[in-house]
Amino acid sequence: LFDEADALFGKRTGVRDSHDKYANQAIAYLLQRIEQHKGTVVVVADEKRANIDEGFKRRMRHVINFP
């Protein structure tokens, strides 16, 4: 379960310093690992779906929206 997912899977920014570079690499690695594990269920909770990174959205097979 990733609560407040936009904090972790938010839209990636341009690299301004070494922290941004490594943060973007870490997120990319996590997305690859999630994708490689077949049968893994990832639950994401967030109020700001528009802020979620497009690369992460592409990996979602099912989305359930609650009003």
In this prediction the pTM is: 0.53
* DSSP state letter for 42: -
Q: What pLDDT tens digit does each residue of the chain (67 aa) get?
A: 667 666 666 665 665 666 666 777 877 788 788 788 777 777 777 777 777 777 777 877 888 887 7
Residue 52: per-residue pLDDT: 76
From the CB of residue 19, how many other CB atoms can be counted at a distance below 10 Å? 9
Residue 63: per-residue pLDDT: 80
Residue type, 27: I
Residue 20: per-residue pLDDT: 66
Q: Is 66 exposed, middle or buried (0-12, 13-18, 19+ CB in 10 A)?
A: exposed
Contact 20, 60 (CB under 8 A): no
Instruction: Determine the Cα–Cα distance for residues 11 and 24; give it in Å rounded to an integer.
Output: 10
Residue 2: per-residue pLDDT: 67
